[in-house]
């Protein structure tokens, strides 16, 4: 894609079209990347006196020497480019897409002694859930599953007292075969995906028992566990929803529309249509092409990487909230 360069005294020559802009300093380093439906109005707005800018933006403007732009068909195209360049360049004045290191995964692994772990990254083993931004609460969520499913917590088999207390299935004592490990992991997977409510039912049973014994403080702690586990189930459902295929149009002008088929944040199909000369055959042909692509790719089982999650959320929120779009059923 071709970039155009504008000095600060040339901003009136910027186009009134969608695209992305790169704020650059005297050394030609990108210090900020943004997108707009109207490049001219957006870029010039930074340099209006009394524009009500934050201190951070005022500092940035003082360092801007010139502006590069890339024109796009739609603001949505600009959004995709903006996210890509922010992720690649990491400009100092951009705040988006920089917090992914804080995300974590829950991992289930039949070959692991503990069966469940909180992990920072994905490796080649196990079933992964997430990425989640629950921070320190991830350990608490893991502990809930350990308690309900009586999972081991030791780093290596050591025949600890937890089995005698009825708190561990004790693979270290030879009580657990591969079939039980497999079924336990499948049950936890079902719980996290919201297809089963075993964990919540067990916690409610425990909470009611504490209430009956007038242990209200312990009951309150278990209620917090129920709320926390329910929140991660909701989050997991949202993550699964992000992996759906979306087919939609974006309005470009009175007669022009752009059709998209995206999977997560990846554009699989795009086409500009002029509705002044649009036939039923053309519409049917486009739907058929997209449907064939969807069937060819099948349902994605790809794990969302933590560096992608904010990107995907931004894209989905934009599609959801913008006015100049409509969904297409294929």
* pLDDT, averaged across the chain: 90
20-to-25, 80, 137 alpha-carbon distances in Å = 17, 10, 38
Q: Read off the DSSP letter of residue 150.
A: T
pLDDT at 168: 80
What does the pLDDT average to over 23-38?
96
pLDDT at 244: 84
Q: Would the pLDDT of 325 be above 80?
A: yes
For 81-133, how does the pLDDT look when each residue is reduced to its tens digit (9 = 90+)?
999 999 899 999 998 877 788 899 999 998 887 889 999 998 878 899 999 98
What is the phi-psi region of residue 328: left when phi exceeds 0, alpha when psi lies from -120 to 50, beta otherwise? beta
H-helix or E-strand spanning residue 109: none
Alpha helices in the chain (DSSP H): 39-45, 55-62, 75-89, 137-149, 178-192, 198-212, 216-242, 280-297, 309-321
293-to-80, 262, 306, 320 alpha-carbon distances in Å = 21, 11, 26, 23
pLDDT at 46: 92
Percent of the chain with pLDDT over 70: 96
For 50-63, how does the pLDDT look when each residue is reduced to its tens digit (9 = 90+)?
667 888 988 999 99
pTM for this prediction: 0.82
HEC sequence for 269-313: EEEEEEHHHCCHHHHHHHHHHHHHHHHHHCCCCCCCCCCCHHHHH
Q: Would the pLDDT of 26 be above 70?
A: yes
Please give the structure tokens belonging to residue 192. 């996290």
60-to-41, 92, 94, 140, 162 alpha-carbon distances in Å = 18, 9, 10, 41, 58
**Cβ neighbours of residue 307 closer than 8 Å, sequence gap 6 or more:** 87, 97, 100
SS3 at position 99 = coil
258-to-251, 254, 275, 314 alpha-carbon distances in Å = 6, 12, 10, 19
Percent of the chain with pLDDT over 90: 60
State the CB neighbour count (10 A cutoff) for residue 123. Answer: 9
Q: Which residues pair with 105 in a beta bridge?
A: 119
For 184-215, how does the pLDDT look when each residue is reduced to its tens digit (9 = 90+)?
999 999 999 999 999 999 999 999 999 999 99
Inter-residue contact 272 to 72 (CB < 8 Å): no
What does the pLDDT average to over 273-281?
89
What does the pLDDT average to over 166-180?
75
Which residue carries 């002694």 as its tokens? 113
What does the pLDDT average to over 34-46?
95
CA gap 232, 254 in Å, rounded: 44
For 125-168, how does the pLDDT look when each residue is reduced to its tens digit (9 = 90+)?
889 999 998 888 999 999 999 999 998 887 666 767 776 677 78
Q: At what angle do helices 178-192 and 216-242 cross, to 10 degrees?
A: 80
Q: Would the pLDDT of 169 be above 90?
A: no
pLDDT at 173: 67
pLDDT at 240: 86
pLDDT at 126: 87
CA gap 93, 240 in Å, rounded: 32
- Among 136, 244, 126, 245, smallest CA distance to 192 is for 126
Please give the domain boundaries of the chain with CATH numbers for all domains.
4-89 (3.40.1440.10), 101-241 (no CATH), 243-327 (no CATH)
């Amino acid at each position: 894609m071709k970039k155009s360069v504008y000095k600060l005294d040339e901003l009136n020559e910027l186009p009134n079209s969608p695209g992305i802009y790169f704020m650059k300093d005297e050394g030609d380093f990108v210090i900020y990347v943004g997108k707009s439906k109207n490049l001219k109005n957006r870029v010039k707005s930074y340099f209006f006196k009394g524009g009500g800018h934050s201190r951070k933006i005022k500092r940035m403007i003082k360092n801007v020497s010139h502006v590069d732009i890339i024109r796009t068909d739609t603001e949505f195209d600009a959004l995709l480019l903006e996210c890509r360049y922010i992720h690649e360049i990491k400009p100092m004045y951009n705040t988006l897409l920089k917090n992914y290191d804080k995300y974590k995964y829950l991992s289930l692994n039949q070959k692991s002694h503990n069966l469940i772990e909180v992990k920072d990254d994905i490796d080649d083993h196990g079933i992964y859930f997430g990425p989640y931004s629950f921070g320190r609460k991830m350990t608490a969520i893991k502990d809930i599953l350990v308690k309900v499913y009586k999972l081991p917590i030791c780093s290596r088999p050591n025949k600890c007292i937890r089995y005698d207390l009825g708190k561990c299935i004790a693979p270290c004592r030879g009580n657990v075969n591969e079939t039980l490990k497999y079924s336990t992991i499948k049950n936890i997977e079902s719980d996290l995906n919201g297809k089963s409510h075993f964990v919540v039912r067990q916690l409610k049973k425990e909470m009611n028992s504490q209430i009956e014994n007038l242990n209200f403080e312990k009951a309150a702690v278990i209620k917090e566990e129920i709320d926390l586990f329910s929140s991660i189930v909701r989050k997991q459902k949202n993550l699964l929803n992000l992996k759906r295929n979306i087919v939609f149009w974006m309005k470009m002008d009175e007669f022009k529309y752009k059709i998209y088929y995206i999977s997560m944040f990846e554009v699989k199909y795009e086409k500009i249509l002029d509705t002044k000369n649009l036939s039923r055959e053309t519409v049917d042909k486009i739907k058929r092409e997209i449907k064939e692509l969807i069937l060819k790719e099948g349902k994605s089982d790809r794990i969302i990487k933590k560096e992608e999650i904010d990107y995907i959320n931004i894209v989905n929120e934009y599609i959801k909230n913008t006015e100049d779009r409509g969904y297409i059923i294929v």
